[in-house]
Amino acid sequence: MLFNSLEFAIFLPIVFLLYWFVFQRNLKAQNLFIVAASYFFYGCWDWRFLFLIALTSLCSWGSGLLIERHRGHPVAKAVHILNIVLNLGILALFKYYDFFATSFARAFLHGNTDGLLLHLVLPVGISFYTFQALSYSIDVYRQKMAPVRDIIQFFAFVSFFPQLVAGPIERATNLLPQFGQARHFDYDTAVDGLRQILWGLFKKIAIADGCGLFVDRVFGAYQEQSGFTLAIAAVLFAFQIYGDFSGYSDIAIGTSKLFGIRLMRNFNNPYFSRDIAEFWRRWHISLTTWFRDYVYIPLGGSRVSKAKIVRNTFIIFLLSGFWHGANWTFLAWGAYHALLFLPLILLGRNRKYTNTIAEGRALPSLTELLQMTLTFVLAVIGWVFFRADTISQAWHYLTLIPHGGQPDLTGLAPLCAYILIMLTTEWLNRSREHGLDLRNIKSHPLKFTIYYLIIIILFLSYNGTESFIYFQF
């Protein structure tokens, strides 16, 4: 079931009404209903993989209780390690086994994969809910939180449908306690949630899906395109993946607000960044901070020797790349960003820009504009590796861009207008929670005019129900 589908448009109000008008008085019943609705939501893809979510939930919940019971004894550490190995082992089996088997066959068996491949279907969202469940057991082991004894509460935390298949990857310390306390409907929060859903749909349908049509055509026959056309497609892919993933996050966060649940922010205007370090603080925040807290800092972070800083930086960026998929292109994308990030961290400049750009000003300075442009161009180059099928294809694609030639701009005028609307809106609201936060507009007619214009654009842009890119991860 996709957020941009008719099925979800029917599903959401039904769940909303039952949640608030039937189950509100009993917290456990309300949580159980969330679990049932979430399992139904996920089961619409493939009901068989519900067993994996249940297994992940059960193992992580049980490990938390065992860790606490045997605190200070080697058994606690053994349980902790076993739970990590089990969850990552399931993830590796479904997501990476065939990749490694194929790579092994190419290296040692002349490419013969007979009898080696399993051809397993990748469960939707497995990387997201696995990391979310692991955050709980790790935090319990580190004594950052007490284990939860209510299994229904824990299952609701792991399976909460708005962010189940593509995040944000919530921390147990933030989301889990919210299922342990009574929730009350707040009109203003719900209205803001609807605005954020609308903005997410705009970025997905008008921006991402529109860019995808052009990008797929160009990347599918890139050898036949002019250099200018290749450059345009690379830029549009940057907006496609941003509109697609941040659009999903906006819809997930907005939907959660309807149920009195607060999710962490996952994107914070990354294309307004002044360097790559700032870009990574603003892009896929839930994953970036997950690797920082559970991998980078335990390795010593940046409080170690220069050589270990280099090692740690490459580890988290390569892991981030490989998390996205079983392909060498994702590792190349991660390594590329590690190379961009290293000079900043080695020179102690990786936290130079932590404030809102052009804070208190309507427009950026010339220096800020040049910094944003350079950072965006560097990100676009990386996105070519992310989008390409192979590293050699990505490199060939990039080498053809300087050749120039006549650009193909067919049908791009409306799309460029929508991108301009998105950038302008998010620039004006860059210090707020999301692009359609209109609390500073007092005129109700103006607000509703904006809503209706976005809805009209959605109807004009809709080309069918397109899946979200990050569902494959």
Average pLDDT estimate for 248-258: 96
In 3D space, the residue among 387, 40, 414 whose CA is nearest the CA of residue 207 turns out to be: 414
> Is residue 405's pLDDT more than 90?
no
Which whole number is the average pLDDT over 184-189? 93
Mean predicted confidence (pLDDT) in 388-412: 90
pLDDT given for residue 394 in this prediction: 97
Given pLDDT bands bounded at 50, 70 and 90, which one contains residue 423? very high
Give the Cα separation of 321 and 275 in Å (integer).
19
Q: Residue 56 corresponds to which amino acid?
A: T
Active site residues: 324
Res. 471 pLDDT band, cuts 50 70 90: low
When pLDDT is cut at 50, 70 and 90, the band that residue 3 belongs to is confident
| Omega before residue 168 within 30° of 0, cis | yes
Q: In this structure, which amino acid lies at residue 269?
A: N
Greatest CA separation found in the chain? 70
Percent of the chain at pLDDT exceeding 90: 78
Q: Which residues contact 80 (CB under 8 A, 6 or more apart)?
A: 63, 67, 137, 138, 141
Q: What average pLDDT score do residues 428-457 get?
A: 89
Given a cut of 80, whether residue 141 has pLDDT beyond it is yes
Report whether 195 contacts 438 (CB < 8 A): yes
Give yes or no for residue 469 having a pLDDT over 80.
Answer: no
- Does the pLDDT at position 464 exceed 80? no
Q: Assign 3-class secondary structure to 440-452.
A: CCCCHHHHHHHHH
Mean pLDDT confidence for 339-364: 92
Across 374-384, average pLDDT:
98
- Name the percent of the chain in helix, strand, coil, to the closest 5: 70, 0, 30
Residue-wise pLDDT for 78-129, tens only, equals: 999 999 999 999 999 999 998 888 888 888 887 788 788 888 888 989 999 9
pLDDT at residue 302, as a whole number: 84
Mean of all residue pLDDT scores within the chain: 92
Which residue has tokens 């996709």?
2
pLDDT tens for 52-73 read: 999 999 999 999 999 999 998 9
Chain length of the chain: 473
Cα–Cα dist 282/270, whole Å: 5
pLDDT at residue 201 in the model: 95
| 285-293 mean pLDDT | 95
Q: How confident is the model at residue 410 (pLDDT cuts 50, 70, 90)?
A: confident
pLDDT at 40 over 90: yes
More confident: 48 or 262: 262
What pLDDT does 396 receive? 96
pLDDT of residue 472: 65
* Of 30-39, 112-121, 149-158, 414-423, the least confident: 112-121
Tell whether pTM > 0.85.
yes
| Burial (Cβ within 10 Å: 0-12, 13-18, ≥19) of residue 46 | exposed
Domain map (residue ranges) of the chain: 6-184, 188-274+353-472
What is the rounded average pLDDT of the residues 377-405? 95
Helix (H, G, I), strand (E, B) or coil at 323: helix
Look at residue 470 and tell me whether its pLDDT is greater than 80. no
